Amino acid sequence: MHFAHASIGRTILVPALAAMPALAHASFLHGDALDALANGLAIFILFAVPIGGIILFWLVHILPEKVAEKRHHPQKEAIKTLCLLSLVFGGLLWPIAWLWAYTKPVFHKLSYGTDKHEDYYTEQARLEGATNQTLADEVARIEGELAALASRGVLPTELLPLRERLVALEAKLSAPDAAAR
């Protein structure tokens, strides 16, 4: 008896469930709006996705070059060339460029005595020169302020040794500039 009630429930429930999908809508758009959205999405997929993929492929392939520049690798030009070749060969050479960028150039140091690119040393010299120049300018400014105080007669006696030390420091800072010329 129990099965009889179940079959009656199925005969009523199955047609009711079959009628429900007619009420469901696959999209919130209808007709021309749905076609316009589909066309816009297709155009985006056909043009923007490949361009984005190419840009992403290129950005990933220049990562070894950026690492080599950041680490001042002495063979960064060769790594850059390998990255460009990797773009041409579809990325097959990219792992080699990646490993090369992260290696410590032991044989280069044995041959040339350094494991940094020559740009590193010119950049360091430029920074040191700028620091010395900035320091010399600051010493000259402070010495000028002390001279102005002395000319007005308000320079405390405690600052006289400081003024002498500043004069000596300024001479010391200007000496490398004179030797470089």
- The residue length of the chain stands at 181
Phi, psi of 153 (to 5 degrees): 80, 20
| Cβ-contact 74, 108 below 8 angstroms | yes
Same domain, 83 and 139: no
The torsion angle over the Cα atoms of residues 6, 10, 12 and 16, rounded to 10 degrees, is 150
> Would you say residue 91 lies in a domain?
yes
Cβ neighbours of 176 (radius 10 Å): 12
Number of domains in the chain: 2
pLDDT digit string (tens) for the chain, length 181 residues = 455 566 666 777 777 766 666 555 667 777 888 889 899 999 999 999 999 999 998 898 899 999 999 988 888 899 999 999 998 898 899 999 999 998 887 777 666 677 777 777 777 777 666 666 677 777 778 888 888 888 887 777 777 788 788 878 777 777 655 454 4
Cβ neighbours of 101 (radius 10 Å): 23
What pLDDT does residue 98 have? 92
> Would you say residue 173 lies in a domain?
yes
What pLDDT does residue 67 have? 93
What pLDDT does residue 11 have? 75
Same domain, 125 and 169: yes
Range of the domain at 47: 36-103
> Would you say residue 45 lies in a domain?
yes
Same domain, 76 and 133: no
Cβ neighbours of 163 (radius 10 Å): 17
- Report the predicted TM-score, pTM, of the whole model to 2 decimal places: 0.47
